[in-house]
Structure 1
């Protein structure tokens, strides 16, 4: 059973069913039913045309539901249409625009897309937003109702689509659900279709982050901090492509947040060693990024950069201006205190930070850091 293939086909099939006339919510229900059927049937009897099989089953599921619905008469023009052959067009990107419809709030658009197109569970999306799962389930249900009758070919908001793609990429990058490659593929499609520097900036950012992926984990699965990564494992081809795309975008002099983030990533990728990183220029880019977004996460990351450029006490001063309830705030404080030589405080903060993160790999890394310092203190 090729679950990777099934996952990649699901949004394409959803696009076909919506394009044939199904409302969004009913189409998603039908496609999910078809996926369940595939999981049951395919191991013993794999189809020659997986996409065609899924479309056929999903369309039949939709018709069965439509015919049994009390609104059957209003849908006769849909249920009586001959489906015809399965299109070879990949509607996945168009689905992103549907989910980013202007009638939705940005947060609802992102959540709906991650659920319907990205294939993430409601629990995973809730964790990404730091809200209860029940709250996210209600948000997604309302969003599905909102876009239920929207024509499939109406455009959505490009900025929201970019945020969606980046969230999908980051979810995939975490290792929980590997969607990073799919996010890059869709962003390439978007860049080919839309001449916009921020689309190019996002593509560059993804490529530059993805290029370092092999160096981020050790053989035992533990996290490897950026300063300790084997840079020989980085994908130099992807780095070169990302830098080239970024330079072309910056040359248009229409700076946006993804271009600024990509510039920071490029400076990290360009440094032969961690010690040769141009932290002063990175701080300058974080200043630009803060002007564009006014994001507390940006200010948190800037505090780390300040600590590298101007010393740990300067970093701690910058960190003092950031909301201390922000995720990773305690971990950053621990790192800066360690850099400043206060190992007792650093060990305590690493231990506290480990108890606050839901990701196992990150929790394990922080626990190891606390244990390392405690061992030094006992010695």
Structure 2
């Protein structure tokens, strides 16, 4: 007989892997973010009780969607506010019989539909990305606020305004017509990129990686590439595949970060690299941009048989090209790192100092890590230790803290 612990383990697993897909489908069915969020939690609560007596269903995701929908209908009957939020006639939804197969054809693209909805031109551009990261990816508001350098309260207000705009403008939860895709494509690409980044280097929690988010970003980019043949879509997918191919070598058995130069390259996923090359070649056939150039950089890293054979001159040239298109502080920092590998640490430090003077990345942990590495290569060990110490003070990510601490311990050996 199945016990409560087994049920909870299964529900925890389903929540991590499928809750945002379930949420996206509930948004489409109910037509409202808040109703869908309540329905999602109602469904998991119902499962924790019902599955104890009836067992885990053969299609648990579909069960949860159906349970959430029917729980929401019950709520709508009793709640006038919920009735005002619902866009469709509740009696129609209520009368539908449950069929375990009825949601399968929607699950794969409901998340993508929701991203395009959040990125509708009617929604303020400064809200689009934050709204998508919160509602589609389930990231915490405080983490999104940190990324946008605003207070949690400010970010929460933006997200509420975004949901209100979609509700009051009756923006449909669907993919736009093909002739309207380009209006939202830049924002959608950025969202998928940010989803992957959160999976590649989690901003909170004890683990460096969030494989669920990385996989979801790649899945969404693949769906998008099937929907529209665009150079930057292909470039983004190639970038994610190249980055993801290294994940097995990026952390040690204790969960600590392993620097690129120390990674076991035999653990890299050759099939993913090969698939990435296919999409990179497709990207370069058209009018490419920043995502494709980043993919080209990632390809230089994964094609090198060992760290010392990395073509840093090509990487530095690609970053110069990127900066000519989009001269953000992050890209200029990455260029500084590449330049230090080509011309020596002094060249890189000059650019680092320029960034420090501009205050653009004054609270960015990895600026000081990069500075510390360059100072270390100059054998300025005390200065390097100070840079890493400051980097350590700027993050609360457990894996990053441990990685920086290990580097500080290594540098201390040169000072004694």
Q: Shared fold by TM > 0.5? A: yes
Q: Pick from 118, 123, 142 the counterpart of residue 99 of structure 1.
A: 118
Q: Secondary structure at the match of 2:121?
A: coil
Which residue matches 1:83?
Answer: 96
Deviation at 1:349, TM superposition (A): 1.2
- The verdict on how the C-alpha distance between 1:61 and 1:295 changes in structure 2, with shifts beyond 3 A counting, is same
Shift of 1:376: 1.6
Counterpart for residue 29 of structure 2 = 20
User: 1-side partners of 2:252 and 2:30: how far apart?
Assistant: 49
Distance 1:43 1:320, change over 3 A: farther
| Structure 1 residues 220 and 67: alpha-carbon distance in aligned structure 2, compared to 1, 3 A threshold | same
Is the contact made by 1:25 and 1:145 (CA closer than 8 Å) also made in structure 2?
no
Q: Which residue among 202, 213, 218 is the counterpart of 2:247? A: 213
- Cα pair distance change 1:16/1:215, threshold 3 Å: closer
Matches within 5 A, 1:1-379: 1-2=9-10, 3-42=12-51, 45-70=55-80, 72=83, 78-81=89-92, 82-84=95-97, 85=99, 86-89=102-105, 90=107, 91-148=110-167, 149-153=170-174, 155=176, 157-174=184-201, 175=208, 177-178=210-211, 179-252=213-286, 254-322=287-355, 323-324=358-359, 325-327=362-364, 328-378=366-416
How far off its partner does 1:260 sit? 0.9
Query: What root-mean-square deviation, in Å, do the aligned CA atoms of Structure 1 and Structure 2 show?
Result: 2.3
What SS does the aligned partner of 1:321 have?
helix
Q: Which runs of 5+ in 1 are unaligned?
A: none
Q: Unaligned stretches of 5+ in structure 2?
A: 1-8, 202-207
Q: What is the CA distance between 1:108 and its match in structure 2?
A: 2.1
Check whether the contact 1:306–1:318 (CA below 8 A) recurs between aligned residues. Answer: no
How far apart are the structure 1 equivalents of 2:19 and 2:380?
52
Residues 187-216 of structure 1, C-alpha deviations (whole Å, 9 max, x = no match): 111111111111111100000000111111
Contact 2:363 2:394 in 1 (8 A): no
Contact 2:251 2:258 (C-alpha < 8 Å) held by counterparts: yes
In the alignment, the residues of structure 1 paired with residue 414 and residue 87 of structure 2 have an alpha-carbon distance, to the nearest angstrom, of 75
Deviates more, 1:368-377 or 1:129-138: 129-138
Within 2, Cα distance between the matches of 1:373 and 1:113? 41
| SS of equivalent residue, structure 1 residue 147 | helix
Answer whether contact 2:322 2:331 (CA < 8 A) is retained.
yes
Change (3 A) 1:360 1:62: same
CA distance in 2, matches of 1:117, 1:27: 12
Partner of 2:3: none
Identify the range of structure 1 (229-238 vs 25-34) with the bigger mean alpha-carbon deviation: 25-34
With over 3 angstroms needed to count, the CA separation of the structure-2 counterparts of 1:35 and 1:130, relative to structure 1, is farther
**Contact conserved, 2:25 with 2:111, CA < 8 A, in 1?**
no
Shift of 1:76: 9.2
Separation in structure 1 between the aligned mates of residue 197 and residue 284 of structure 2, nearest angstrom: 23
- Bigger mean CA offset, 208-217 vs 64-73: 64-73
Kept after mapping to 1: 8 A contact 2:32/2:85 = no
Distance 1:177 1:95 in 2: 21
How far 1:230 moved relative to its partner? Answer: 1.4
Alpha-carbon separation, structure 2, partners of 1:107 and 1:273:
41
* Cα 1:36–1:115 shift into 2, 3 Å: farther
Shift of 1:273: 1.4
**Post-superposition shift, 1:43?**
5.7
Q: Is the 8 A contact 1:22 1:62 kept in 2?
A: no
| Gap change, CA 1:350 and 1:93, over 3 Å in 2 | same
Q: Quote the Cα distance in structure 2 between the aligned partners of 1:370 and 1:334.
A: 10
CA distance in 2 between counterparts of 1:311 and 1:76 reads 61
Q: 1:224 to 1:7 in 2, by over 3 A?
A: closer
- Offset at 1:168? 1.1
Q: Aligned in 2, Cα 1:337/1:49: closer, same or farther, shift over 3 Å?
A: same
Instruction: Give the Cα separation in 2 of the matches to 1:97 and 1:213.
Output: 28
